[in-house]
Structure 1
Amino acid sequence: MTEHRPLPRSAEANERLHAAIPGGAHTYAKGDDQYPENLAPVISHGEGAHVWDVDGNEYIEYGSGLRSVSLGHAHPRVVEAVRREIGRGGNFVRPSIVEAEAAERFLAAVPTAEMVKFAKNGSDATTAAVRLARAATGRPLVAVCADHAFFSVDDWFIGTTAMPAGIPAETTAMTVSFPYGDLDATEEVLRAHEGRIACLILEPATRTEPAPGYLAGLRELAHRHGCVLVFDEMITGFRWSDAGAQGLYGVQPDLSTFGKALGNGFAVSALAGRRELMELGGLRDQRERVFLLSTTHGAETHSLAAAMAVFDTYAEEGVTARLHTLGGRLAAGVREVAEGAGVGEHVLVLGRASNLVFATLDEQGEPSQPYRTLFLRQLLTGGVIGPSFVVSSALTEADIDRTVDVVAQACTVYRKALDDGDPAAFTGGRSVKPVFRRFA
């Protein structure tokens, strides 16, 4: 790793991005407001678990395309599959045989699903699940898990966030919430809206593992109240097991949505579920039809080829196990150096080993954006970029060890800031911002 230089070209590129693109990025989580001031590198290219910015600096990368590149950038097997298929044409007036092959591969990998339909992004898939649930039950309301951060860019969810501008209040009123892990509280919500809730939608797990029996209990509760149970597996899909969280925990949802790791960076998502529900969007059913997913680019052959290469790589190379091993090594190392620097109660590593995040707490033990800024700044200047500690299988043990060394240096600065009671002296400018906020 080379010594990190200033970022004049990245600064110029950020200005170009803001001039042409609202927010300066096509995903708010990638915005320069998520990084310390003057330390928001613009990426030139990536290979494996490393990326280079336009100024020539090299970084070990975590978060990997917001968890979408779990095999590492430019993975040879995926690239070759894409190259081979795209040379045969990418989009046709009728379905390609690749669509059947990819669907069959998906259903073999996720045996709890009976049918699947592909799309390009997760929001389309989750919104299609909501539409199916409403059509199947004849009910208007959607219940979302209040403890999970994101489900869709569409109105039914965004209206419930701190950025509801442009969304009618009547639409927002059709979404209610329930707490994760609390079956009694969830049943209270269902009873309060008896006969009106179409579905319960949640991530089966995030930084919190489900208590034994919780997911099965939630399924029983949903069905007892006539609701559809939807698992959002955008993150847990493949990172928890080759069959997602539903495969790991042995609980079959009625519908589930996948994305992120599915294409190793190529745009592909999936809605999967029970045939009885999915056929509402088909041509072989006598019930009133649902306009489910109909996307011109939803089944581009190169993205589906990428997905099939991902399936094969996970199965043949034990990728999920490797993600857990790498994440476990990283978590143990970070906790050790944090304790050694006297910040073990302030710099926390949370979540499943394959999907680690970190928390930065202040003197009172509360989440702190200034301390997050300090921590990110030290990581970046040490050659590590990542809004989380989510690993890719392309990381090496040397990468993990180097990361732990950088974290150790960051923790030393963190301790000094705690002692001084002034993290702002170490942030280099304004603090990073939460994505969901009413004003810029």
Structure 2
Amino acid sequence: MDTEKPSLPRSRQANARLHALIPGGAHTYAKGEDQYPEDLAPVISHGRGAHVWDVDGNRYIEYGSGLRAVSLGHAHPRVTEAARRELDRGANFARPSVIEVEAAERFLATVPTAEMVKFAKNGSDVTTAAVRLARAVTGRARVALCGDHPFFSVDDWFIGTTPMAAGIPASTSELTVAFPYGDLAATEELLLRYEGEIACLILEPAGHAEPPPGYLEGLRALADRHGCLLVFDEMITGFRWSEAGAQGLYGVVPDLSTFGKALGNGFAVSALAGRRELMEWGGLRHSGDRVFLLSTTHGAETHSLAAAMAVQTTYAEEGVTAQLHALGERLAAGVRAAADGMGVGDHVLVRGRASNLVFATLDEHGRPSQEYRTLFLRRLLTGGVLAPSFVVSSALSEADIDRTVEVVGQACAVYRKALDAGDPAPWMGGRAVKPVFRQRV
């Protein structure tokens, strides 16, 4: 039995300090200590490219950087230099900076299916703004979201639908209903059940599987027929599917769309984009009731907008989206081969578009298992791979991918032992990792 347990004394001390001062020990639940094996939650000191170092001095090949935000790698020179130049010129003023119109022009050239854009700091800002705008435009209160997609906002209209609904009035949660991805008939049935009540359909246009043929076009037609808006959450698909997101790749134009994550390569910037006639409801050229669309003190910080412009230029000039797909394909093929070679190909699965890979860990009965995920994560960390997912950045080298596959092979060997024993506990090193959304700690 493998009893190796790496020592992270400084990380453990830092985690204790984090929990003493910050609820949950992290500012994002998905980065919490409970998402990692017991005593194996490294606290990061710094990062460069596709590598990060913890406070104990250990180096890791990193995946899913910044919850998929850092798609060019850490401290990308072109991006950091653009931000640095703006920092020397001032970050925030009493009136708009000229960079705000430059950033808007650059974004709308990248996402030509939109006509206007407004920037903010995080994804929740802009998805909630989209919902508010849809309600104002349609005069309807209900929101229909895709129930197969894991996250849309920290705000009540979405969080009230999760197991962590404490503090949210039931009257608010009741205004959000769900439809299944890929099922046009079920979505139309929902629209008919709440005929004239649904303000918008909001979804990630693509996920771990490609949209069924005609699906997005069908949603577009349903929204038009039932008088609601179609909103694409492109936080993940933006840039990773194409520079213009899924709407650019699949050719289906939503009424509104939201971008973030890869847009800033780690800098805080997000965007609400859409049709001019809708976006103007939040402006000064609209004769009806004013919509408080977005008004954020830091939404137009100059350095974040400069970073976003540099990201878009880098994607366009260096073909980053194609690089992400090539790296992901190499990784997926290697992981599948390693899992098959150790006899666990039916238990360690790689899913998703090559630029946005995740993995599933199944038990001896083929069911998703947090216990086997714990075992797998522990072996990856032991081998110097920090991978809550297999989402690649363009900073990864082929050598990084090959080393990752080697470590995955080692993890799969242990996985096979646990399957043969019918019990992963001896290889977990402690309690199991937890799902983010759960009712009790």
State the TM-score bracket (shorter-chain normalisation): over 0.9
Q: Where in structure 2 are the equivalents of 1:161-180 lying within 5 Å? A: 161-180=162-181
What is residue 437 of structure 1 aligned with on the other side? 438
Q: Where in structure 2 are the equivalents of 1:257-336 lying within 5 Å? A: 257-336=258-337
Measured in 1, the distance between the counterparts of 2:334 and 2:49 equals: 22
What is residue 44 of structure 2 aligned with on the other side? 43
| Aligned residue identity for 2:387 | G
For the 8 Å contact 1:206–1:351, the answer to whether it is kept is yes
For the 8 Å contact 2:5–2:429, the answer to whether it is kept is no
Length-normalised TM-score, structure 2: 0.99
SS at match of 1:51: strand
Structure 1 unaligned blocks of 5 or more: none
What is residue 201 of structure 1 aligned with on the other side? 202
What is residue 238 of structure 1 aligned with on the other side? 239
Measured in 2, the distance between the counterparts of 1:70 and 1:287 equals: 41
What is residue 340 of structure 1 aligned with on the other side? 341
Length-normalised TM-score, structure 1: 0.99
1:405 CA drift (Å): 0.1
What's the CA shift string for 1:71-107, capped at 9, x where partnerless?
A: 0000000010000011000000000000000000000
| Aligned residue identity for 1:68 | A
1:4 CA drift (Å): 9.4
| Aligned residue identity for 1:36 | P
Q: Where in structure 2 are the equivalents of 1:22-171 lying within 5 Å? A: 22-171=23-172
Measured in 1, the distance between the counterparts of 2:171 and 2:94 equals: 39
Measured in 2, the distance between the counterparts of 1:264 and 1:405 equals: 28
Measured in 2, the distance between the counterparts of 1:66 and 1:150 equals: 12
What's the CA shift string for 1:36-65, capped at 9, x where partnerless?
A: 000000000000000000000000000011
SS at match of 1:237: helix
Measured in 1, the distance between the counterparts of 2:434 and 2:120 equals: 31
SS at match of 2:30: helix
Fraction of identical pairs, as percent: 80
Measured in 2, the distance between the counterparts of 1:115 and 1:348 equals: 40
What is residue 224 of structure 1 aligned with on the other side? 225
What's the CA shift string for 1:285-326, capped at 9, x where partnerless?
A: 112110100000000000000000000000000000000000
SS at match of 2:240: coil
Kindly tell me the number of residue pairs found equivalent between the two proteins.
438
1:386 CA drift (Å): 1.3
| Aligned residue identity for 2:238 | G
SS at match of 2:238: coil
For the 8 Å contact 1:122–1:259, the answer to whether it is kept is yes
Measured in 1, the distance between the counterparts of 2:285 and 2:297 equals: 22
| Aligned residue identity for 1:410 | A
Measured in 2, the distance between the counterparts of 1:391 and 1:277 equals: 35
Measured in 1, the distance between the counterparts of 2:223 and 2:293 equals: 22
Measured in 2, the distance between the counterparts of 1:108 and 1:96 equals: 19
Measured in 1, the distance between the counterparts of 2:43 and 2:151 equals: 25
Measured in 2, the distance between the counterparts of 1:215 and 1:87 equals: 45
| Aligned residue identity for 1:56 | G
Worse-superposed segment, 378-387 or 285-294: 285-294
Q: Does 1:364 align with 2:365?
A: yes
1:5 CA drift (Å): 4.8
Worse-superposed segment, 190-199 or 5-14: 5-14
For the 8 Å contact 1:151–1:232, the answer to whether it is kept is yes
For the 8 Å contact 2:87–2:303, the answer to whether it is kept is yes
1:220 CA drift (Å): 0.4
| Aligned residue identity for 2:91 | G
Measured in 2, the distance between the counterparts of 1:126 and 1:5 equals: 41
Measured in 2, the distance between the counterparts of 1:430 and 1:6 equals: 17
For the 8 Å contact 2:371–2:428, the answer to whether it is kept is yes
Structure 2 unaligned blocks of 5 or more: none
For the 8 Å contact 2:73–2:395, the answer to whether it is kept is yes
Measured in 2, the distance between the counterparts of 1:151 and 1:424 equals: 34
1:125 CA drift (Å): 0.2
What is residue 21 of structure 2 aligned with on the other side? 20
SS at match of 1:407: helix
Measured in 1, the distance between the counterparts of 2:165 and 2:6 equals: 40
1:254 CA drift (Å): 0.2
SS at match of 1:238: helix
Q: Does 1:191 align with 2:199?
A: no
For the 8 Å contact 2:86–2:306, the answer to whether it is kept is yes
SS at match of 2:72: coil
Measured in 1, the distance between the counterparts of 2:351 and 2:56 equals: 32
For the 8 Å contact 2:142–2:199, the answer to whether it is kept is yes
For the 8 Å contact 1:118–1:271, the answer to whether it is kept is yes
SS at match of 1:286: coil
Measured in 1, the distance between the counterparts of 2:273 and 2:28 equals: 25
1:66 CA drift (Å): 0.4
For the 8 Å contact 1:10–1:53, the answer to whether it is kept is yes
| Aligned residue identity for 2:148 | D
| Aligned residue identity for 1:101 | E
Measured in 2, the distance between the counterparts of 1:86 and 1:4 equals: 43
1:420 CA drift (Å): 0.2
| Aligned residue identity for 2:424 | P
* Cα RMSD for the two superposed structures: 0.8
For the 8 Å contact 2:336–2:350, the answer to whether it is kept is yes
SS at match of 1:313: helix
Measured in 2, the distance between the counterparts of 1:287 and 1:323 equals: 45
For the 8 Å contact 1:5–1:57, the answer to whether it is kept is no
